[in-house]
């Protein structure tokens, strides 16, 4: 995004060092970035993040809803209400909150991009609550696309497969991490820079005739759209 000239607001929970490194990477591309730390499951924080973005840059053209958490559970019966509520608050409620407040500043030509997952299409036996949230995001994307099409605001999604991100070692035991991506047809996990172009494409005018769609950078898994 920075390479294409976008100014970026980075919203994150508590990974301050990572946020600083990301800002430095944005600046190396000749652009600007700000960081906003907080919990996107809190609607007031989402409002504040949008306000800080507007204060810094004066406009908001692209919203990427990307926050997520997952908790592997071998026995479905062990998934308790607290885990379900926490996962849905981070993975789904945040999308509603952030989009609601961002839309107050978005105009014709703007783009909303939501991160879903291959698990929304294939399921996952040990990530039931996570997969359920990702299915909800697909429905949210399609419905919001219809709601905003007359305003000229496009809404699409990206459904990554196994990608190397900090979420992986944070979610799984080392032996599972070592095999991450091995089941994909390409026999490997993807890198973040193999996913990022999907977001850039959906954000820009090259995708002007696409809304309500899902892109699938997943290592060759054929899934229903």
- Domains of the chain: which residue ranges? 63-215
What size, in residues, is the chain?
225
Instruction: Give burial (CB, 10 Å; 0-12/13-18/19+) of 90.
Output: buried
Query: Quick one: pLDDT band at residue 168, thresholds 50, 70, 90?
Result: confident
- The DSSP code sequence of 26-43 is HHHTT--EEEEES-TTSH
Residues of the chain with pLDDT > 70: what percent? 100
Is 130 noted as a catalytic residue in this protein?
Answer: yes
Place of tokens 């990301």: 22
- The DSSP code sequence of the chain is -TTTT--EEEEESS-HHHHHHHHHHHHHTT--EEEEES-TTSHHHHHHHHHHHHHHHS---EEEE--------SSGGG--HHHHHHHHIIIIIHHHHHHHHHGGG--TT-EEEEE--THHHH--TT-HHHHHHHHHHHHHHHHHHHHHGGGT-EEEEE---SB--THHHHHS-HHHHHTTTTTSTTSSPBPGGGTHHHHHHHHSGGGTT--S-EE--SSS-----
Q: What is the pLDDT of residues 127-150, one digit of tens each?
A: 999 999 999 999 999 999 999 999
Distance CA 202, CA 157 (A): 8
Q: Which of 12, 130, 199, 209 is catalytic?
A: 130
2 and 32 in contact (C-beta within 8 Å)? no
Instruction: Give burial (CB, 10 Å; 0-12/13-18/19+) of 74.
Output: exposed
Looking at the domain 63-215, which fold is it?
A: Rossmann fold (3.40.50)
Which pLDDT score, from 0 to 100, does residue 183 have?
83
Which pLDDT score, from 0 to 100, does residue 225 have?
61
Q: Is the pLDDT of residue 175 over 80?
A: no
Q: Is the pLDDT of residue 51 over 80?
A: yes
Distance CA 203, CA 215 (A): 13
**Partner residues linked to 10 by β-bridges:** 35
Query: Quick one: pLDDT band at residue 204, thresholds 50, 70, 90?
Result: very high
Query: Quick one: pLDDT band at residue 224, thresholds 50, 70, 90?
Result: confident
Q: Is the pLDDT of residue 172 over 80?
A: no
Work out the average pLDDT over 160-167.
84
Query: Quick one: pLDDT band at residue 162, thresholds 50, 70, 90?
Result: confident
Residues of the chain with pLDDT > 90: what percent? 85
Work out the average pLDDT over 34-50.
98
Task: Report the predicted TM-score, pTM, of the whole model to 2 decimal places.
Answer: 0.93
Distance CA 119, CA 53 (A): 32
């Amino acid at each position: 995004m920075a390479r294409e000239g976008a100014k970026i607001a980075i919203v994150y929970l508590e990974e301050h060092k990572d946020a600083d490194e990301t800002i430095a990477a944005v600046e190396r591309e000749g652009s600007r970035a700000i960081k906003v730390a907080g919990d996107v499951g809190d609607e007031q924080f989402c409002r504040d993040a949008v306000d800080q973005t507007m204060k810094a840059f004066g406009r908001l053209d692209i919203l990427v809803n990307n926050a997520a958490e997952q908790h592997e559970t071998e026995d479905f019966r062990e998934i308790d209400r607290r885990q379900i509520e926490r996962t849905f608050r981070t993975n789904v409620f945040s999308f509603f909150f952030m989009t609601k407040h961002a839309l107050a500043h978005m105009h014709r030509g703007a783009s909303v991009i939501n991160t879903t997952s291959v698990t929304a299409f294939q399921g996952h036996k040990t990530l039931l609550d996570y997969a359920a949230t990702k299915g909800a995001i697909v429905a949210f994307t399609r419905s919001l696309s219809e709601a905003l099409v007359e305003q000229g605001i496009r809404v699409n999604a990206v459904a990554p497969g196994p990608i190397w991100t900090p979420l992986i070692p944070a979610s799984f035991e080392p032996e599972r991490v070592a095999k991450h991506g091995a089941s994909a047809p390409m026999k490997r996990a993807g890198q973040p820079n193999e996913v990022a172009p999907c977001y850039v494409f959906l954000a820009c005018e090259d995708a002007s005739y696409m809304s309500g769609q899902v892109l699938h950078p997943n290592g060759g898994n054929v899934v229903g759209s």
